[in-house]
Structure 1
Amino acid sequence: MLLENSYYKIIGRSGEGLDAVFRVALLPDCEVYKGHFPGNPVSPGVCNIETIKECAMLLTGKRLVIDTIRQCRLTAVASPSVCPEVEVTLSCSPVGKGFAVTAKIADNERTYMEYKGEMTVITA
């Protein structure tokens, strides 16, 4: 299930080649936030990772699956009420059957997640 337009919405994009910054609005009416947690919504780490993967797919123009996560650090709690907009900064490098991906989710105040891993291109 893709999260774009239900959990988040891309409101801007900059960069060139396989490096980009996606400006993302977190959508507080999403069902995820109603269950995680009612009255005090926070962004689940798994949804942040999926957001990174979906932005990587837009950047590379390929359908991807996460193969290996080498580093995934949740450094602060993101919430649509505290940080309604964040930036997903991505750098992708071709490797093997996919891409090495380095990413960060942050705003002007703090970094919420740092990610390094490999994603494989889905060919079927």
Structure 2
Amino acid sequence: MLLKDFYSVIQSTKEEGKIITQIRINKDHVLYKGHFPDRPVTPGVVLMHLFKEEMERQTGRKLQFSKASNVKFMAVVDPNVDDVLILELETEENFNALNLKGIAKHNGCVALKINASYN
């Protein structure tokens, strides 16, 4: 885990080729003291990294980020509004790469859409 104690997994299920994982964000994490003290916002790079960590957890493999496309940040993730984040992941193996289509939902709306590859 890149950020110690940043989140915990509530539950994870596999449905129709998708992995759906609910996590609880630690709204008291030190990250939010600097980003930002009066209005905490989860950094986009951290949201992107959550997908990598979840894929490592699911596959039992250490992965390295290779590339991303169609990265769309669509809503702010404020842990004081709703500290539960839902990650939806669809993956496929292609030679040495693990390709991911991911959606992060927060407080009933899409916060991030991403297509990424990992080695």
Q: Which amino acid aligns with 2:86?
A: E
Q: Aligned pair in 2 of structure 1 residues 15, 73: CA closer, same or farther (>3 Å)?
A: same
How far did residue 98 of structure 1 move? 2.3
1:17-50 CA distances to partner (integer Å, 9 max, x unpaired)?
A: 9631110111011111111000210000010011
Between the two proteins, what is the percent identity of the paired residues?
24
Partner of 1:105: 104
Aligned position for 2:94:
95
Match of 1:2 in 2: 2
Listed as ranges, the matches of 1:13-52 within 5 Å are 13-15=12-14, 19-52=18-51
Tell whether the 8 Å contact from 1:43 to 1:77 is kept in structure 2 after alignment: yes
> Following TM superposition, by how much is the alpha carbon of 1:9 offset from its aligned partner in structure 2, in angstroms?
1.1
For residues 47-100 of structure 1, the C-alpha deviation after alignment (integer angstroms, 9 at most, x for no partner) is: 001111101111222111110101211000001011210101111100121200
Q: What corresponds to 1:62 in structure 2?
A: 61
- Give the ranges of 4+ consecutive aligned residues of structure 1 lying more than 4 Å apart after TM superposition: none
1:109 alignment partner AA = G
Give the RMSD, CA atoms, in angstroms.
Answer: 1.7
Shift of 1:108: 5.4
Give the distance between the partners of 2:45 and 2:36, measured in 1 at CA. 15
Confirm or deny: 8 A CA contact 1:18 1:60 kept in the other structure. no
Q: In the alignment, is the contact (CA less than 8 A) between 1:9 and 1:26 conserved in 2?
A: yes
Gaps of 5+ in 2: none
